[in-house]
Amino acid sequence: MTPVNEPMADVRDMYMAHTMLRREFRLLPRLVRDVAPGDVERAETVGAHAEQVCSVLHLHHEGEDLLLWPRLLERAGDRATAIVPTMEEQHAAIEETYGEVTGLLPGWRATALDGGRLADALDRLLPALLEHLALEEKEILPLAERYVTAAEWRRLGEHGMARTPQETLPLALGMAMYEADPEVVEALLAELPEPQRSGLTAAARHAYAAHAERVYGTGTPPRVGD
């Protein structure tokens, strides 16, 4: 049953997260291939970045599996049963390649050798991820707007935040904010009181700019639309 007299999900933050995933996973294979064999210092920088981006993806999908799909199946009837199994299958396929990537990462970070295998695995992950994100935006987000409450939607974000180390939260937020509409960022952080909200926004922007400078050599890496 659809909740009555409750504010429903504002799904704009999901588009923000998807843009971040598209950008970072598109750039990762080249980052890995550009590390010279044996350059352990650079491999550690790129590898730590890859690990964080992979963790964001894993938590993003885990939250959907645990919190979003059951709600839609309970409330959205045939529209949900027609698409949720496909979402679950895509998650499983992505998770399999994700496991290959995360299995190769520690050895490459430690040695900076055989980066081609890691880059190839990232290449295989990308098209499956892009297909999934596009289908989710087309089919799932309209259902979420109609059948998921704002409070339930917030719990999706809280799931990932609770499992992200506190010291990396500003960076994770900054990654998502980089291409985001300021209005969407403001809505996302609306429950935070001032001056915490402004402080976190500034810290997030600074964290990603500094991180991008280390990883990409610029504080303004290529955007999805570039």
CB 91 within 8 A of CB 58: no
> To which residue do tokens 């989710």 refer?
136
CATH number of the domain residue 56 falls in: 1.20.120.520
- pLDDT for position 122: 98
- pLDDT for position 195: 85
Q: Radius of gyration over alpha carbons of the chain, in Å?
A: 18
Low-confidence ranges of the chain (pLDDT < 50): none
- pLDDT for position 190: 86
- Give the number of domains in the chain: 2
5 in a structural domain: no
- pLDDT for position 193: 82
- pLDDT for position 17: 97
User: What is the CB-side half-sphere exposure of residue 52 using CA atoms within 13 A?
Assistant: 25
Query: Residue 61 burial (CB < 10 Å; 0-12/13-18/19+)?
Result: buried
Task: Report in angstroms the alpha-carbon separations of 8 from 136, 143, 221.
Answer: 18, 11, 34
Same domain (yes/no): 16, 98: yes
User: What is the CB-side half-sphere exposure of residue 90 using CA atoms within 13 A?
Assistant: 18
Same domain (yes/no): 196, 121: no
pTM given for the model: 0.95
3 in a structural domain: no
226 in a structural domain: no
